[in-house]
């Protein structure tokens, strides 16, 4: 009986989920988790005699390299699968840290108000007014290429959107009766923020994080494309596009396949985030 209720609850929770985007994200996550242990070749090992092999559906393609090889004879399929781990790792870490810092700023600004709110929101407005890619290039140029530096740059670029949206939620929540009752009961500010404010903004944080994931992956790929992200020979999708752009007329698959992976992953994340936004909206649940 418990199992039946559990399955029924799971079906209800996943009601209306976009299947194709969800399937794409599951495949990308599985590739990221299992990639290095299931790929047929070392993604950084060169084999010059097998360079520029086309995909299997083109003349000259081989079953041993179904998506072809690059200019150094490295297997494209292996590099795409392992590259999913790098892109997801960078994207998820950047979303986590930017979401954490942005939420702290939003809660502090919205709950305390006054001069603290004015100062933090002017910082947020200044950050939102700047062109993300230009600031990212400047920061990456100062800090240098590298995985950790890339995550830091993306976190710096992403916190302001969390701060602006979540602050409005905090402003609404702090006027509710249960917050007033908590103050009357003698709850400290920290306890009110942790026990009463934070649980009520968790849904917004999750939705924003899902929507930001696609943007973060594109920014990470853009910085890697410009040579300011993950350094070669690490198999990262943006770096693979950059390395393959010189061979578009002769070996189009080198840039097209990783570009397609970026496109599908970001589109799937945005569509799933949009579904999640509706699913976590109480008004939508009541209409459904």
Domain range summary for the chain, segments of one domain joined by +: 61-270
Q: pLDDT for 152-167, tens place per residue? A: 989 988 899 899 899 9
* CA 27 from centroid of its chain's CA atoms: 15
β partners of residue 69: 75
CA dihedral angle for residue 166, residue 167, residue 168, residue 170, rounded to 10 degrees: 90
Report the mean per-residue pLDDT for the chain: 86
Q: How many CB atoms lie within 10 A of CB 44?
A: 14
Q: How many CB atoms lie within 10 A of CB 100?
A: 14
Contact between 49 and 203 under an 8 Å Cβ cutoff? The reply is no
Q: pLDDT for 82-102, tens place per residue? A: 989 888 888 899 999 999 999
H-assigned helices in the chain = 2-13, 19-38, 76-112, 114-129, 132-143, 147-173, 177-184, 189-192, 198-225, 237-244, 253-279, 282-287
Terminal C-alpha separation, the chain: 26
pLDDT of residue 258: 94
CATH 2.60.40.420 fits 61-270, yes or no: no
Q: pLDDT for 104-146, tens place per residue? A: 999 999 988 889 999 999 999 988 888 877 888 888 888 888 8
Joined tokens for residue 195: 């026990």
Backbone angles phi, psi at 283, to 5 degrees: -65, -40
- Nearest residue to 206 via CA among 249, 258, 162, 239: 162
Rounded Cα distance, 111 and 106, in Å:
8
When comparing pLDDT for 269 and 3, which is higher?
A: 269
For residue 201, CA distances in Å to 71, 90, 148 come to 49, 24, 28
pLDDT of residue 190: 86
Percentage above 70 pLDDT, the chain: 92
For residue 280, CA distances in Å to 199, 229, 253, 275, 288 come to 13, 34, 40, 9, 12
CA-CA-CA-CA torsion sign (18, 19, 20, 25): positive
């Amino acid at each position: 009986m418990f199992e039946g209720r559990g399955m029924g609850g799971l079906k209800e929770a996943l009601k209306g989920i976009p299947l194709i985007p969800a399937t794409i994200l599951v495949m990308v996550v599985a590739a990221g988790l299992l990639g290095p242990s299931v790929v047929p070749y070392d993604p950084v090992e060169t084999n010059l005699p097998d360079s520029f092999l086309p995909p299997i559906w083109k003349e000259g393609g081989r079953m041993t390299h179904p998506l072809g090889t690059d200019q150094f004879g490295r297997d494209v399929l292996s590099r795409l699968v392992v590259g999913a781990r790098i892109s997801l790792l960078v994207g998820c870490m950047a979303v986590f840290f930017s979401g954490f810092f942005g939420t702290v700023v939003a809660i502090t600004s919205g709950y305390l108000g006054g001069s603290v709110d004015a100062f933090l929101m002017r910082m947020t407005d200044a950050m939102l007014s700047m062109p993300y890619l230009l600031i990212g290039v400047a920061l990456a140029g100062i800090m240098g290429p590298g995985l950790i530096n890339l995550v830091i740059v993306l976190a710096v670029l992403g916190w302001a959107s969390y701060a602006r949206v979540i602050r409005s939620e905090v402003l609404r929540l702090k006027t509710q009766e249960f917050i007033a009752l908590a103050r009357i009961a003698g709850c400290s500010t920290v306890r009110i923020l942790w026990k009463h404010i934070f649980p009520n903004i968790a849904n917004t944080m999750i939705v924003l994080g899902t929507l930001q994931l696609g943007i973060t992956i594109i920014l990470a790929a853009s910085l890697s494309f410009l040579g300011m992200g993950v350094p070669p020979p690490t198999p990262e999708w943006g770096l693979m596009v950059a390395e393959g752009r010189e061979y578009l007329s002769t070996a189009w698959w080198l840039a097209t396949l990783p570009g397609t992976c970026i496109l599908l992953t970001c589109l799937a994340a945005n569509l799933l985030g949009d579904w999640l936004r509706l699913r976590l909206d109480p008004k939508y649940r009541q209409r459904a």
